[in-house]
Structure 1
Amino acid sequence: MTLYSDFGTRRTRQIVGDVLAFVLISAWVLLGITVYELVENLAVFGGQMEEAGAGFAETMTEVGNTLGGIPLIGGGIRAPFDEASSAGGALEAAGQSQQIAVNQLATGLGIGIAALPIIMILVLWLVPRIRFARKAGQAKAAVKFGTGIDLLALRALATQEISTLSKIDPDAMAAWRRGDVIVMRALAQLELKSSGVRLPFADGNLEHP
């Protein structure tokens, strides 16, 4: 796979673009993690609520059990403590629910903040890079397997802008049809350059470097 152009200027732009993309992606990931941690810290209150509720419920249960053992009056004394223990259990459950809600909110915000910018970066950066790698790989493969300049010139006629082709020859297609070697070489050079590939020519065929 060809990741970078053979031409210095374009290769430099690609390297700078890759570094910038990685920096931006890392920055958005870091921001997402930071937001997650900040929101997740709010779950501390839920943890304290859960702990307090559990402790209160346990204490009331123990007191109720102790007083409930008193003959004759134990049953009546125990009832309020059982109710208080239930209230403590409800407080414990509320603390657990609050922690779950905070965790879901923190996860959603963290992913949401980081995901959209990262997707946009991948679309604007990774897709063109993959397209370049495929095109450059195909161009090098065409040369490697002995493809002549005529096919590369034909690809140029099919893919390059008309204004660009006109600079080589006002009627580049006609020149290709009559086998104009000079025009065909120029077209092939144009196609290779647009693919980021630099290869020499000799006797109408591509030389392998």
Structure 2
Amino acid sequence: MHLYAQTSARRTRQVLADLVAVALIYGAVKLAMAVRDAIRQLAEPGRKAESAGTSLSDGLSDAGDAASEVPFVGDQLKKPLRSAADAGAGLADAGRSLQDTVGHVATLTAVALIVIPTVFVLLLWLPPRLRWIRRSTVTRQLAAGPGGADLLALRVLTGPPNELAALPTPPGGLAAAWRRGDEQVIADLAAIGLRREGLHG
């Protein structure tokens, strides 16, 4: 099995198509990573809120612990400070939640920006390449088998006639020459069949 044609024109087109496909997929990945990083910047307020909430909660908790040691009124002083510390912890939790949400959105967006263009490129590029590989393999096996040149010549005779005009027309026409077993005509027709698939005779 060959991945590329033997004729230079078709091989060049195949290589260019492969390079374009790889470049498009690479570009999609780079774009997705850039978008992901940009979205992650939106988590900065969440980081600040988490930091501020944690600092506030820790400070108020320490203050509440210190206030609880005040004789007679320590418990009364500690309760509002503890409530405020809980509010600070809630702010920190909200900040963490925002960061998690932004992180998930960034990841999902990056995955979508990679998968969708990649699938689109593969759907446009891969089927024709696989069809050519299959056709060229069958043609090569056909040409190598017994009577392969005859079969290739027949395939050319029954296919599009545009390339037949370049061949010299023998008496009675190309089809009659093929039926007579004219070796030169058969060889010329088989060569056209191989060239159609980007193969050399």
CA distance change for structure 1 residues 150 and 35 in 2, over 3 Å: closer, same or farther?
same
TM-score (norm: length of structure 1): 0.79
Mapped partners of 1:147, 1:57: distance in 2 = 88
* Greater Cα offset, 70-79 or 135-144: 135-144
Q: CA deviation at 1:78?
A: 0.6
Secondary structure of the residue aligned to 2:67 is helix
* Greater Cα offset, 105-114 or 55-64: 105-114
Q: CA deviation at 1:37?
A: 0.7
2:105 paired with 1:87: no
User: Which residue is equivalent to 1:196?
Assistant: 198
CA distance change for structure 1 residues 164 and 81 in 2, over 3 Å: closer, same or farther?
same
TM-score (norm: length of structure 2): 0.81
Q: AA paired with 1:197?
A: L
CA distance change for structure 1 residues 145 and 61 in 2, over 3 Å: closer, same or farther?
farther
Mapped partners of 2:147, 2:58: distance in 1 = 84
Contact 1:165 1:172 in 2 (8 A): no
User: Which residue is equivalent to 1:67?
Assistant: 67
Q: CA deviation at 1:94?
A: 0.7
Aligned alpha-carbon RMSD (Å): 2.8
Q: AA paired with 1:57?
A: S
Q: CA deviation at 1:47?
A: 1.5
Write out aligned runs for 1:47-126 (5 A).
47-126=47-126
Secondary structure of the residue aligned to 1:41 is helix
Task: Extract structure 1 runs of 4+ deviating beyond 6 A.
Answer: 168-175
Mapped partners of 1:147, 1:84: distance in 2 = 93
* Greater Cα offset, 100-109 or 183-192: 183-192
Deviations 1:51-83, CA, capped at 9 Å, x for gaps:
211121111111111111223211111111111
Write out aligned runs for 1:173-184 (5 A).
179=181, 181-182=183-184, 184=186
* Greater Cα offset, 84-93 or 68-77: 68-77
In structure 2, list runs of 5 or more residues that go unmatched: none
CA distance change for structure 1 residues 13 and 124 in 2, over 3 Å: closer, same or farther?
same
Deviations 1:119-141, CA, capped at 9 Å, x for gaps:
22212222212221222223223
In structure 1, list runs of 5 or more residues that go unmatched: 200-209
Secondary structure of the residue aligned to 1:40 is helix
Q: CA deviation at 1:176?
A: 5.8
Mapped partners of 1:143, 1:133: distance in 2 = 15
Q: Count residues in correspondence.
A: 197
User: Which residue is equivalent to 2:20?
Assistant: 20
User: Which residue is equivalent to 2:133?
Assistant: 133
Secondary structure of the residue aligned to 2:101 is helix
User: Which residue is equivalent to 2:8?
Assistant: 8
